[in-house]
């Protein structure tokens, strides 16, 4: 039987689809270039990145990524490969993030050309024992140290960020092989209390959304994914192509000071959130419009002993008194299944488990056994910042070379927290690690860059970025999210929504620890129909108090026992109680941690709302009835300090026994219409 041409083509396409192969003919991509000449072959163009006058396989966008990676690996020297396995902090000209003692000056788009050396931990400002942290001058880092992975912690306008990123990519393109750089960042799109270095960028020009707990409180996976897709557009526009985020950790230990960056305590719901976030930022698979994500902190950083954090020596232990180790893996499995590009292990070391008591970056059974073999992760394992020189918990007795060896054998692909690859290079030259093992990691790192389209066009349009980032349409979507994130927990005497004609005294409580007024009266700039805002409590019919507790930030820890009562976290409890006893009161508390509210609570407690990083306008829209609250609690709120002391660190609050919680995961009311 002779088949027609159309039938033959159809059968071929069916076979390719069955084999999981694409029959799509590659189309000419846009090529962004500065110093690399273009090669024109049969009507198509290619970048001659190594400037040798011929088309190498790694320069040929028509070929599969795996073939291109193999070709490039063969051309890279050992020094280039090792430099490729360091992800270093980088600065824009004028940024003093790591040198606060130097007076600030305007940030520009120029590349920073000063080495920065410090004998203190970049986070805690405590002395470093083994070596000093260094951030290399940009040109030196790219050309001499062969660095291509960077973490940008500077804030600037969209135009300057994009222009700076272009300058960095032009520098990378001018090198021997023209391998592009990739720039990562911590979150830039959330309202947050703790914007410490390494946690969040705080106030930025990007669209402003609820904190991560607030996104979770919305209970809207579609809007969550839309948030991630919008944020990805903004990031790509300014040249940020890798997210040092998000936290798949579970907030099961109420004293842990990183609760704000999680999606809450319920593993199944957090897994759903992780999936939506991944698909929004990356798409179904990495592509030239993606931001590659790095979920952290494997295998779940929540169950810290007494809530202390492993950035500090006194917080290095992680335990599972409720035997719920596997429960904490669920969000990470969701990240793996959704295709996250990278996963970051925490500094902590497990205690009283079957695993070796060394930090997770050194833990072969955790990384190679559990994450890769059992959970099926095939992407990049990215160390947290500084386990080699700053937080080497459980391996303090090993030399730097021995630490690199142990971490590489455990499965780490790229090391964060410095800019000097010499000790990693020595680890290979001394024979402790083979170049074949190095190639495994570099292959993964190169695949990410090829998938993101950086070899074709790493450049962006600064003017276009300025128009796109934080635009009105994006912020309109974010405004909806800010309102949906607010949770109504109690509505005494149906006080809410406020009735027309009500006189409101609105007071905001926040103490940043640097002096000044800890509470201030707020009168909205834009009138709210039916409500009158007054200057004193005496004039009011109703008092609205918005309490924003502040523990001083993660890196203010001293190792003392952590107290999550309101009075211990800069809330003037006496004033709150005085006001709430004088008039009908609406209490709103911003839960960046599951603060214990027993000091202001009672059987006849006032109307109560929870916020998780939102705005004044959003809160007022809820209390006025212009927006019907829909949020649900992403965490449980302990009923007392005593309950906190006996909690099981790995057990979510809604599963704790007895009367552990005042408010539980999932609690929330709406107005009856």
pLDDT tens digit sequence for 171-216: 999 999 999 999 999 999 999 987 666 566 668 999 999 999 999 9
Is pLDDT above 60 for 448?
A: yes
In whole angstroms, what is the distance from residue 163 CA to residue 92 CA? 11
Do residues 99 and 116 touch, judged by C-beta distance below 8 A?
A: yes
pLDDT digits (tens, 9 = 90+) for 393-431: 999 999 999 999 999 999 999 999 889 999 999 999 999
In a domain, 455, yes or no: yes
222 and 303: one domain? yes
468 and 498: one domain? no
Q: What pTM was estimated for this model as a whole?
A: 0.93
pLDDT digits (tens, 9 = 90+) for 597-646: 999 987 666 799 999 999 999 999 999 999 999 999 999 999 999 999 99
Q: How many residues does the chain have?
A: 673
358 and 400: one domain? yes
185 and 325: one domain? yes
Is pLDDT above 80 for 19?
A: no
Closest among 190, 338, 349 to 262, alpha carbons compared: 190
81 and 101: one domain? yes
197 and 124: one domain? yes
Single out the catalytic residue among 384, 413, 601, 621: 384
526 and 412: one domain? no
343 and 443: one domain? yes
Residue found under tokens 């063969």: 74
- 317-318 and 342-345 beta bridge pairing: unpaired
Q: Which pLDDT band holds residue 35 (cuts at 50, 70, 90)?
A: very high
Closest among 115, 148, 151 to 133, alpha carbons compared: 115
409 and 496: one domain? no
Residue-level pLDDT at 91: 87
Q: Give catalytic status of residue 306 as yes or no.
A: no
In a domain, 219, yes or no: yes
Domain residues for the domain of 451 are: 65-472
621 and 580: one domain? yes
472, 495, 516: which is the final residue of a domain?
A: 472
Backbone angles phi, psi at 588, to 5 degrees: -120, 130
329 and 419: one domain? yes
Residue-level pLDDT at 555: 80
Closest among 353, 272, 346, 260 to 551, alpha carbons compared: 260
Based on the structure, what is the number of domains in the chain?
3
pLDDT digits (tens, 9 = 90+) for 149-167: 999 988 899 999 999 999 9
> Cβ neighbours of residue 237 under 8 Å, at least 6 residues apart?
158, 162, 460, 461, 464, 465, 468, 469
Q: Where are the alpha helices (DSSP H) in 339-399?
A: 364
543 and 568: one domain? yes
């Amino acid at each position: 039987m002779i088949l027609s041409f159309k039938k033959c083509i159809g059968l071929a396409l069916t076979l390719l689809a069955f084999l999981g192969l694409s029959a799509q003919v590659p189309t000419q991509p846009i090529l962004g270039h500065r110093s690399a000449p273009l090669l024109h072959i049969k009507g198509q163009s290619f970048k001659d990145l190594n400037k040798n006058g011929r088309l190498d396989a790694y320069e040929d966008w028509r070929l599969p990524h795996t073939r291109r990676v193999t070709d490039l690996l063969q051309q890279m020297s050992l020094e280039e490969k090792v430099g490729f396995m360091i992800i270093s902090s980088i600065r824009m000209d004028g940024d003093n993030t790591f040198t606060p003692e130097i007076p600030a000056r305007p940030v520009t788009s120029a590349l920073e050309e000063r080495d920065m050396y410090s004998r203190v931990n970049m986070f805690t400002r405590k002395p470093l024992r083994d070596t000093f942290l260094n951030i290399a001058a940009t040109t030196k880092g790219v050309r001499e140290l062969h660095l291509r992975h960077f973490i940008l912690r500077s804030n600037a306008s969209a135009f300057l960020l994009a222009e700076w990123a272009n300058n960095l990519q032009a520098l990378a393109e001018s090198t021997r092989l023209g391998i592009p750089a990739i720039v990562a960042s911590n979150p830039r799109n959330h309202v947050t209390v703790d914007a410490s270095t390494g946690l969040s960028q705080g106030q930025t020009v990007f669209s402003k959304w609820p904190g991560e707990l607030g996104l979770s409180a919305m209970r809207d996976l579609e809007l969550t994914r839309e948030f991630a897709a919008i944020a990805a557009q903004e990031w790509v526009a300014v040249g940020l192509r890798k997210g040092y985020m998000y936290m798949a950790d579970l907030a099961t230990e109420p004293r842990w000071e990183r609760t704000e960056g999680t999606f809450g305590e319920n593993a199944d719901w957090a897994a759903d959130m992780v999936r939506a976030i991944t698909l929004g930022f990356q798409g179904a698979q990495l592509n030239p419009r993606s931001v590659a994500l790095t979920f952290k902190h494997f295998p779940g950083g929540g169950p810290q002993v007494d809530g202390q954090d492993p950035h500090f020596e006194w917080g290095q232990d992680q335990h599972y008194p409720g035997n719920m180790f596997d429960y904490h893996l669920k969000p990470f499995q969701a990240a793996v299944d959704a295709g996250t590009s990278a996963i970051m292990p925490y500094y902590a070391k497990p205690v009283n488990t079957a695993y070796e008591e060394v930090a997770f970056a050194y833990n072969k059974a955790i990384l190679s056994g559990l994450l890769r073999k059992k959970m099926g992760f095939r992407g990049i394992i990215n160390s947290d910042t500084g386990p080699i020189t700053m937080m080497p918990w459980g391996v303090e007795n090993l030399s730097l070379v021995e630490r690199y060896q142990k971490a590489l054998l455990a499965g780490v692909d790229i090391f964060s927290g410095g800019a000097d690859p010499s000790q990693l290079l020595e680890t290979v030259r001394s024979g402790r690690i083979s170049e074949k093992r190095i190639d495994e990691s570099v292959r993964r790192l190169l695949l990410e860059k090829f998938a993101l389209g950086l070899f074709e066009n790493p450049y962006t349009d600064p003017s276009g970025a300025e128009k796109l980032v934080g635009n009105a349409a994006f912020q309109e979507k974010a405004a909806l999210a800010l309102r949906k994130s607010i949770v109504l927990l109690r509505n005494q005497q149906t006080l809410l929504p406020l009735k027309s004609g009500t006189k409101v005294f609105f007071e905001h409580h926040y103490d940043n620890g640097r002096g000044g007024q800890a509470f201030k009266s707020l009168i909205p700039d834009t009138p709210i129909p039916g409500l009158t805002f007054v200057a004193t409590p005496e004039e009011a019919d109703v008092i609205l108090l918005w309490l924003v507790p502040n523990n001083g930030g993660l890196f203010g820890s001293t190792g003392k026992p952590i107290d999550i009562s309101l009075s211990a976290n800069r809330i003037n409890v006496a004033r709150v109680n005085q006001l709430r006893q004088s008039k009908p009161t609406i209490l709103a508390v911003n839960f960046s941690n599951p603060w214990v509210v027993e000091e202001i609570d009672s059987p006849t407690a006032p109307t109560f709302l929870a916020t998780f990083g939102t705005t004044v306008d959003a809160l007022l829209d809820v209390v006025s009835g212009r927006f019907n609250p829909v949020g649900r609690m992403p965490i449980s709120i302990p009923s007392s300090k005593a309950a906190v002391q006996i909690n099981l660190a790995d057990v979510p609050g809604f599963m704790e026994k007895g009367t552990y919680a005042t408010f539980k995961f999932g609690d929330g009311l709406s107005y009856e219409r």
